[in-house]
C-alpha cells in the first residue's frame, strides 16, 4: 500500500510540474510583449471578501512565472497587489478585496517600460433556494438567484449524494436564470439526502494585455444547500 501511495504522490507532483512552471524570473529580463497575464477572482456566498490573484508568465500559460521589477506593478481597484512564491507553481500576486458594490474589478498592470494595461472584469453573485427534492423520474427546475447568465459565463450545479458521488450539470446559454435537472442527470446517485450548490464561472480574454495574450477566470460559489433525491 505504501508503494501505491508514493506512486500516486509522485504522479501528482509530476502533473503539477507539467501544468505550469515553478521557475521564477525578474520581469525586466524578458521581452515585455511576451508576458502572459492571468487574472483570477473567487468568492463564496456569505463572505464579504473576494480572493483576487494575478500571475505573469514568460512565453505563455506554462512559462516561467515573473516577479514584476520596479517600476512594473499590478493593482486591483487602485490597490497594489502583494506577491509571494508558491511551491511548485511559481510567483503569484494576491489580495483579499471587499466585494465592490457594482461587482467590478479593475486590474491595472504597468510593465517594466511603463506601458499600461487596464482591464475591468465582473464577478456577479449567484445562489439557489433549497429545492424540496430532486426527482429521478421527472425534471426538477431550480431557479438561480441573481442576474441571468451573462456572456462568457457558465452555471454549474453540483449534486452530491451520501456516498460522496457527485454530478455536475452545466448551463452556458446567455440569459438563463434556471437549471433543469433531468432524471438521467441523477439516475446514478443514491436516493436520500444530498447536498447541492451552484457555481457561476466566467472566462474571457483581457481586452488589454501584452501581445502574447492572457486570460481572466472568475468563480462565485453559492452556499451548500440540503435536499433529497427521490424516485
Q: Is the pLDDT of residue 217 over 50?
A: yes
Among candidate residues 53, 19, 16, 46, the one with its CA nearest the CA of residue 218: 53
Would you place residue 87 in the very low, low, confident or very high pLDDT band (cuts 50, 70, 90)? confident
**How far from 180 is each of 141, 185, 204, 216, CA to CA, in Å?**
5, 10, 26, 28
How many Å apart are CA 49 and CA 47, to the nearest integer? Answer: 6
How many Å apart are CA 53 and CA 55, to the nearest integer? Answer: 7
Domain ranges of the chain: 20-122, 127-204+221-226
Mean per-residue pLDDT over the chain, rounded: 92
How many Å apart are CA 79 and CA 177, to the nearest integer? Answer: 34
How many Å apart are CA 184 and CA 46, to the nearest integer? Answer: 32
Q: Do domains 20-122 and 127-204+221-226 have the same CATH topology?
A: yes
Give the residue with greater pLDDT, 178 vs 19.
178
Q: Is the pLDDT of residue 105 over 70?
A: yes
Let me know if 120 is exposed, middle or buried by CB neighbors in 10 A (0-12, 13-18, 19+): middle
> For the domain with range 20-122, which CATH number is right: 1.10.287, 2.30.30, 2.60.40, 2.60.120?
2.60.40
The predicted pLDDT at position 12 comes to 41
| CATH class (in words) of the domain with range 127-204+221-226 | mainly beta
- What does the block give as the cell for 114? 511603463
The predicted pLDDT at position 20 comes to 64
| pTM for this model (two decimals) | 0.88
Q: What is the mean pLDDT of residues 165-191?
A: 97
Coil vs helix vs strand at 208: coil
Q: What is the per-residue pLDDT across 134-163, written as a single tens digit (0 to 9) for each?
A: 999 999 999 999 999 999 999 999 999 999
The three-point CA angle 63-64-69 to 5° equals 130
Q: What is the mean pLDDT of residues 166-176?
A: 97
The predicted pLDDT at position 5 comes to 39
Q: Is the pLDDT of residue 90 over 70?
A: yes
Terminal C-alpha separation, the chain:
39
The predicted pLDDT at position 19 comes to 58
Amino acid at each position: 500500500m505504501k508503494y501505491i501511495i508514493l506512486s500516486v504522490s509522485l504522479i501528482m507532483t509530476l502533473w503539477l510540474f507539467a501544468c505550469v512552471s515553478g521557475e521564477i524570473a525578474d520581469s525586466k529580463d524578458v521581452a515585455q510583449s511576451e508576458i502572459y497575464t492571468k487574472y483570477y477572482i473567487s468568492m463564496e456566498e456569505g463572505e464579504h471578501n473576494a480572493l483576487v490573484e494575478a500571475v505573469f508568465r514568460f512565453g505563455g500559460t506554462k512559462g516561467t512565472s515573473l516577479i514584476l521589477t520596479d517600476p512594473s506593478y499590478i493593482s486591483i481597484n487602485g490597490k497594489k497587489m502583494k506577491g509571494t512564491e508558491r511551491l511548485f507553481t511559481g510567483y503569484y500576486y494576491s489580495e483579499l478585496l471587499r466585494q465592490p458594490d457594482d461587482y467590478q474589478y479593475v486590474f491595472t498592470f504597468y510593465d517594466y517600460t511603463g506601458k499600461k494595461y487596464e482591464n475591468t472584469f465582473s464577478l456577479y453573485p449567484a445562489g439557489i433556494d433549497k429545492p424540496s427534492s430532486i426527482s429521478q423520474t421527472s425534471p426538477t427546475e431550480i431557479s438561480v438567484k441573481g442576474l441571468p447568465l451573462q456572456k462568457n459565463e457558465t452555471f454549474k450545479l453540483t449534486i452530491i449524494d451520501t456516498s460522496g458521488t457527485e454530478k455536475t450539470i452545466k448551463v452556458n446559454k446567455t440569459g438563463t436564470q434556471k437549471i433543469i435537472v433531468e432524471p438521467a442527470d441523477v439516475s446514478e446517485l443514491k436516493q436520500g439526502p444530498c447536498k447541492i450548490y451552484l457555481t457561476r464561472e466566467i472566462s474571457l480574454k483581457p481586452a488589454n494585455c501584452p501581445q502574447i495574450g492572457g486570460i481572466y477566470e472568475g468563480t462565485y460559489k453559492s452556499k451548500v444547500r440540503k435536499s433529497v433525491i427521490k424516485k
